[in-house]
């Protein structure tokens, strides 16, 4: 009887240990987010990438879809881009205006009617690669592969200077 209870306690402790390890491995990644905001004018539309952790993130790729509305009954055209920039420091937020994005993507022929964010990929301080999308955060085994077929890859050589993140590492500023 004692063996049964001992085994049950060991199994419970092992499960708790696994859960703690998983929480710890996701700790930094859970503090990284991205979103877009829009105003009525193109210059007011922005994309934000925020690292609220005390460690930098690297190898950042932001997957975007440019939506160009066609005339008549033709459906909208979706053009996938993957924008890459090298790093984002601890407790930093990068704010990209739509004009900055469009200039970097060099879409001078036909201006898109909308820029849709879809996926953020990055590497944390422990070298783990993560994928954040609308459906959540997951560790990723794919490094540098585009999220959509036919993706144009663009490196943002001179990203805007990051600013201090409003809240960093669990609520401190």
| pLDDT, tens digit (0-9, with 9 covering 90-100), for 18-46 | 555 555 666 889 999 998 887 655 556 78
Give the number of C-alpha atoms closer than 13 A to the C-alpha of residue 121, restricted to the C-beta side: 16
The residue with tokens 């669990």 is 170
Q: What percent of the chain has pLDDT above 70?
A: 71
Strand 92-97 to strand 136-139: parallel, antiparallel, or no bridges (unpaired)?
unpaired
Q: Kindly report the pTM of this predicted structure.
A: 0.73
Q: Give the C-alpha separation, 12 to 15, whole Å.
A: 5
The residue with tokens 């929480």 is 23
Q: Of 88, 43, 83, which is closest to residue 66 (Cα–Cα)?
A: 83
């Amino acid at each position: 009887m004692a063996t049964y209870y001992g085994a049950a306690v060991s199994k419970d402790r092992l499960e708790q240990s696994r859960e703690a390890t998983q929480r710890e491995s996701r700790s930094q990644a859970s503090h990284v987010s991205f979103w877009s905001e829009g105003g009525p004018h193109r210059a007011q539309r922005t994309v934000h990438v925020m690292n609220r952790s005390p460690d930098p993130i690297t190898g950042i790729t932001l997957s975007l879809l440019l939506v160009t509305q066609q005339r008549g009954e033709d459906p909208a055209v979706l053009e996938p881009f993957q924008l890459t920039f090298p790093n984002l420091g601890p407790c930093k937020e990068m704010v990209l205006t739509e004009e900055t994005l469009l200039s970097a993507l060099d879409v001078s022929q036909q201006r898109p009617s909308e820029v849709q964010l879809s996926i953020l990929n990055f590497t944390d301080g422990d070298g783990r690669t993560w994928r954040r999308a609308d459906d959540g955060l997951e560790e990723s085994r794919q490094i540098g592969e585009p999220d959509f077929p036919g993706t144009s890859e663009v490196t943002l050589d001179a990203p805007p200077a990051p600013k201090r993140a409003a809240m960093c590492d669990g609520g401190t500023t």
